[in-house]
Structure 1
Amino acid sequence: MTIASYAFLILYFIFSGIHLADSWKDDAAARKKTKPFLLIFLILFYVTAARAKGGTENHLLLALITSWLGDVLLIPKGHHWFALGGVAFGASHVFFILVYTQNIIFEGMHWWLVIPIALIYFAVAFAVIVAVQPTTPKIMVGPMYVYLLANATMNSFALMQLITDRTPGTVVAFLGALLFFISDCTLFLVRYYKKNEDLIFHKHFTVMLTYLAGELLIVIGMLMQA
């Protein structure tokens, strides 16, 4: 990696640390100030590191850009902003799937392993939606379920990439995808589950810790594969 890539990675850690500290304190106003910058530094880290290794992967770059857009759209309050953020993040999952697909050999895939694990992801997504449905606006339930299914599908493709090419890079990327899924599930519970509002440890702290770690691990994993 170059000096620039290390610098952007350090900035990512610094801003993530500040954001997580504000999330721990549940300081919504302070969190809004740092959130727009988080993925910017990760994008710059990826671009500089990837160019040093031969060039960027456009689908991965688009996945990060749409993730950043999702972050920004989730800052304002309101169900319509939440929905727009979901659309942006849904697009990011599609781009991540396109990244993984390039490294997957479907012939001879261990479907006996992929299908049960994919069903577990889908079952968790269904359970989360069922849990929040009573206190979620009806118009939001369908899109939220579709979104979690998109994330679950992205994770299934990360698993297939791992099965095809069992290397440290695919392991790291798979773990990143898993953390992304956990982040989205906890976000829905923090946002809409009212029976026990302390269910998720420090609420947005857990959401953002898993999200930031997940995005970073996906990027590092794919850089290791480059």
Structure 2
Amino acid sequence: MQSMDFLFKIRSRVVLCFLVLWSVAVSITLFHYTVSARGKYLEMGDKLAWKEGIIPSVRGRILDKNKKILAWTEKYFDLFLTGAGYIEIRRENEMMAELADIIVLEPIKINSKTMLLKKNLSPEEIILIDMIVSKYPEFKIIPRDERRTIDYSRVRSIIGTVKIEDNMMIGVNGLERTHNRLLSGSDGLYVVMLDKQGNWVRGTWKLLRKPKPGKDLILESNVEELRRQMP
């Protein structure tokens, strides 16, 4: 009988020690996640839930000494279907049918996930499709900047060209390259929350930094003088 009591006490102590060790381990783990590593895991969660984006600045104009505009930037808006191939066929057909009832589509496949539906949307078209784009987050209206120059080939050679790199317009040659810093300005920055599909969550968009437009470059010559500078 005494041996049984002794064994019972031993087992009780073993169980008690196990429970104590288990509670200590749980406490340490809980402390790690809620206190010591809280910032790390919150930061990881933020990276998954939030996305930073750039608002390109408007590139400055190039004018002659008489303030005649020689180079400028025009903004266009294109309509895309994103997530193509991952959307249920029934839903995609429904979406496209609603859209086709309002505007004429000119679909061009960009890659396995993206399709350009309409290039250079007019202001009227943007207003017409606003409700559908809000209803179906797979539709996205994306702005696009294009650099324009005066229609004189000799003057265009002096002005030079630009390229788009990381959504920024950069001077490649000519005056566009020489005065790139002046013309470029400073991009803005925003942050927005994304859902599991990568779509923007309404009401979460925040402006972190306003874009600063580039400055105009005013030349010391007029158009005719520039034309005479080239052979």
TM-score of the alignment, normalized to the shorter chain, above 0.5: no
Larger Rg: 2
The higher-RCO structure (CA 8 Å, 6+ apart) is 2
Length-normalised TM-score, structure 1: 0.28
Choose between structure 1 and 2: higher helix proportion: 1
Choose between structure 1 and 2: higher strand proportion: 2
